[in-house]
Amino acid sequence: MSTDNKTSTAKQDVPAVENPEAAAAAVTAVDPRLLVREQGLAGYVGEFKRKMKAGELGSIPVVIGLIVICVVFQSLNSAFLSAQNINDITVTMVGTGMISVGIVFVLLLGEIDLSVGSVSGAASAIAAVLAVNQGWPEWLAVLAAVAAGAVIGAAHGFFFAVLGAPAFAVTLAGLLFWLGFMLQTLGENGTINLDSDGFIGQLTTYFFSDIAAAYGLAALVTAVFFLTSFLGNRRREAVGVPSRPLSDTVLRTALLAVVSFAAAFMYNQYKGLPLATVIFLVFLVGTDFLLRRTSYGRKVFALGGSVEASRRAGINVTAIRISVFAISGGFAAIGGLFLASKIASANQSAGTGDLLMNAIAAAVIGGTSLFGGRGRTWNALLGVLVIVSIQYGLQLESIAEPVKYMITAGVLLTTVVIDSVTRKTQKTAGRA
């Protein structure tokens, strides 16, 4: 701004001096109401304050919540932040977390999928029957189960998108139907034990015990993040559109490096890097890329914003809706396999209880809006981390199941209230 101002005063002498702001605006043709971001540290602080006021909280409440959880439980029992406990938490959370990733997709449309719990149970039953009873190779049984989950989801999507039935009601029917299907499939015994050294069993029991694995992954993640940010900014500069200052990129990379190397160090204190965590991270990166960097993802967001506008823009609304429910079903199946792996069996209680509620709660607690069009799949990771941490913390304190339910309910209610309130603030700040 200031340099433009100088040049304008140099060229046209009289009015610019008297009204430097107007002169600068006239030269740069930038809307004078635009909030110009200051450079450097002051810029960060200013931007942060403005976002807080406007209700753009993003993941901040959940990160603060996680810190509070850690402090409280650690002060109650020093075993909470032990390497073993954190390791257990991050492995256990993968099952629910995977289901929650699918829920994020559905929530982005502003819809809900109540069938994911039952579908995850049905998928574990399908995999167990094919692998144990039918003698299929386990990897093939896993593929078949995930495919079945996607087809089931697509069927729900068909009733919703083509026949126009409310997604809430369709998936509620799905919840009952696939629960019955699972019980039918498991047969009289009700439990099929899986080989704990097989492919499914290893999903949650395999660890990369070499310490180089965890550190290597942390280094790789940091390097890839820095390179893509750096090259992206270089390209933006070359084309002449606003880019982030280098200090910004460095700061973000440093933050990521601290988190990932701390995690790697912690994993190496116990058994090493868990395979389940690696798979979860791969899926999170993949789905985040799909949602934010491809035209498919753009269409999902567009549908969450305005169905009519999407239709006029030539988006095939029906196809996108069906595909999103198929993704939700697919991730429910993947989650179901991780949950079956944890107990090395497919049994009648799979996919029941509080699983469905935890999966939805995780997505919402992580910051995905229930109103559609806002959210990221990383929200699923943060949310499920909160829920499972609370469960483990309460377990360490030997607090009974009923109290656990009530506390999780309190956390969920708090998050939904935060979502609604920030949405109101965003409306008054003109950003919703």
Partner 1 sequence: MSATPVLALRGVSKRFGAVQALTDVELEVHAGEVVALVGDNGAGKSTLVKTIAGVHPIDEGAIEWEGRRVSIGKPQDAQNLGIATVYQDLALCDNIDVVGNLFLGRELKRFGVLDEVEMERRARELLKTLSIRIPSVRIPIASLSGGQRQTVAIARSMLGEPKLVILDEPTAALGVEQTAQVLDLVERLRERGHAVILISHNMADVKAVADKVAVLRLGRNNGVFEVRTTSQEEIISAITGATDNAVTRRAARTSGEVEK
Binding residues for partner 1, rule: CB under 8 A, are 29-31, 33-35, 232, 235-236, 239-241, 293-295, 298, 301-302, 304-306, 308-310, 312-315, 372-374, 426, 430-432
Of 289 and 405, which has the nearer Cβ to partner 1?
289
Least distance to partner 1, CB of residue 373, Å = 4
d(CA 377, CA 99): 11
Least distance to partner 1, CB of residue 294, Å = 6
Backbone φ and ψ of 111, nearest 5°? -115, -175
CB atoms under 10 Å from CB of 239, counted, come to 8
CA distances from 133 to 118, 127, 146, 191, 337 (A): 21, 10, 18, 12, 17
Least distance to partner 1, CB of residue 287, Å = 15
Of 75 and 295, which has the nearer Cβ to partner 1?
295
Of 14 and 29, which has the nearer Cβ to partner 1?
29
Least distance to partner 1, CB of residue 241, Å = 5
- The helix (run of H) or strand (run of E) holding residue 375 is none
Of 132 and 291, which has the nearer Cβ to partner 1?
291
37 touches 46 (CB < 8 A): yes
d(CA 397, CA 250): 41
Least distance to partner 1, CB of residue 60, Å = 19
In 3D space, the residue among 201, 178, 188, 180 whose CA is nearest the CA of residue 128 turns out to be: 201
Least distance to partner 1, CB of residue 140, Å = 29
d(CA 179, CA 269): 40
Of 14 and 34, which has the nearer Cβ to partner 1?
34
Of 182 and 300, which has the nearer Cβ to partner 1?
300
Least distance to partner 1, CB of residue 236, Å = 5
Least distance to partner 1, CB of residue 301, Å = 6
- The helix (run of H) or strand (run of E) holding residue 192 is strand 191-193
Least distance to partner 1, CB of residue 312, Å = 4
Q: Identify the sign of the CA torsion 156, 157, 159, 164.
A: positive
Least distance to partner 1, CB of residue 248, Å = 15
List Cβ neighbours of 253 (8 Å cut-off, separation of 6 or more). Answer: 222, 225, 226, 229
Indicate the pairing of strand 207-208 with strand 273-274: antiparallel
Indicate the pairing of strand 345-347 with strand 191-193: antiparallel
Of 294 and 349, which has the nearer Cβ to partner 1?
294
Of 46 and 216, which has the nearer Cβ to partner 1?
46
Least distance to partner 1, CB of residue 229, Å = 13
Kindly report each contact of residues 193-198 with a partner whose C-beta sits within 8 Å and lies 24 or more positions away, as own/partner: 193/132, 193/344, 193/345, 194/128, 194/131, 194/132, 194/340, 194/341, 194/344, 194/345, 194/346, 195/132, 195/138, 195/344, 196/344, 198/131, 198/138
d(CA 70, CA 28): 50
Of 29 and 406, which has the nearer Cβ to partner 1?
29
Of 171 and 422, which has the nearer Cβ to partner 1?
422
In 3D space, the residue among 85, 108, 54, 64 whose CA is nearest the CA of residue 380 turns out to be: 108
Of 22 and 71, which has the nearer Cβ to partner 1?
22
299 touches 320 (CB < 8 A): yes
